[in-house]
Amino acid sequence: MGRKYVDFWINLTDEVDLYEMVSEVKKLGFRSVVVSSVDENRLREFRKLSEDFKIEVYRKLILEPEDRLSLLKNLRAYRGGYEVISVICSNLEVALTAARDSRVDSIILPPSKRFRIDKGVAALISNSVELPFKWFIDENSRRGFIRVASEVVNYLSRKTSIIVSSSASKPFELRSPHELASLLQVLGLDRSTALDAVSTIPEKIIEANLVKLSSSYIARGVLKIG
């Protein structure tokens, strides 16, 4: 059986034709998508449309906190309501906290970050690192994004898992799994590892979180049976 491809971030904040978006996702070969949306009605509509196309939809929360305390406060408040939580790390303090907090699913390092990924950060990271492809498509952020992506691949690929998501807010910004994986291949990873970044790695995160969100979950490794 072939790989099950997952787009780990689709942003539904812009006013786009949802039908066009879903049909494009299907055409590109994704079987699951993780969607962030401010508007609950649009998300519901997107989910309904996706059912017809047999695409699984999961909710994602993107946090961009200023400091450690606001990150922890948000995680405490929202962890139970979303299948996936990602943190955009605008400073080192947030990056270090998000990197080792098990409630965070992926950390996103922006192209304009003003801190280095050094041994200290690398030693602490236990969560996945997400690379949103939209920053690569955008000419203004491309150079910074490539710098961050190559840092991530060089210093963190052996330590942690990497995910590539489209982070598209328009159908034009969506890319196929092989196009997303080509970024990691160009940066030096082999084809199979690069494809894992758009299939097995995000899938495992979602599966683990669905178990945690289910009513039978009690604690790590403890499930209520029957």
Partner 1 sequence: MVKRKKRYIIIEASTEIPVEVFKKLIEKSYLELFGEFGLNEANLKLVKKINNKFILECSHNSVSRAILSISSIRKLDDSLFCLRVVKVTGTIRKAREIIAEG
Is residue 141 within the footprint of partner 1 (CB under 8 A)?
A: no
Is residue 44 within the footprint of partner 1 (CB under 8 A)?
A: no
Task: Closer to partner 1 by CB, 48 or 143: give it.
Answer: 143
Is residue 79 within the footprint of partner 1 (CB under 8 A)?
A: no
Is residue 35 within the footprint of partner 1 (CB under 8 A)?
A: no
Angle, CA 78 vertex, CA 72 and CA 80 arms, to 5°? 115
What would the x/- binding string for partner 1 be over residues 146 to 165, using CB under 8 A?
A: --------------------
SS3 letters for 192-224? HHHHHCCCHHHHHHHHHHHHHHCCCEEECCEEC
CA-based torsion, 206, 32, 202, 139: positive or negative = negative
Stretch that binds partner 1, among 10-18, 107-115, 172-180, 195-203 (CB under 8 A): 172-180
Is residue 136 within the footprint of partner 1 (CB under 8 A)?
A: yes
What would the x/- binding string for partner 1 be over residues 98 to 127, using CB under 8 A?
A: ------------------------------
Shortest spacing between CB 182 and partner 1, in angstroms: 4
Please name the residue ranges forming H helices in the chain: 18-28, 40-52, 68-78, 92-100, 119-124, 134-137, 142-151, 177-186, 191-196, 200-213
Could you tell me which of 118, 131, 68, 132 has the C-alpha nearest to residue 98? 68
Tell me if residue 12 falls in helix, strand or coil.
coil
Is residue 172 within the footprint of partner 1 (CB under 8 A)?
A: yes
Contact residue for partner 1 among 76, 100, 142, 159 (CB under 8 A): 142
- The residues binding partner 1 (CB under 8 A) are 28, 133, 136-137, 142, 170, 172-173, 175-176, 178-179, 182-183, 185-186, 191
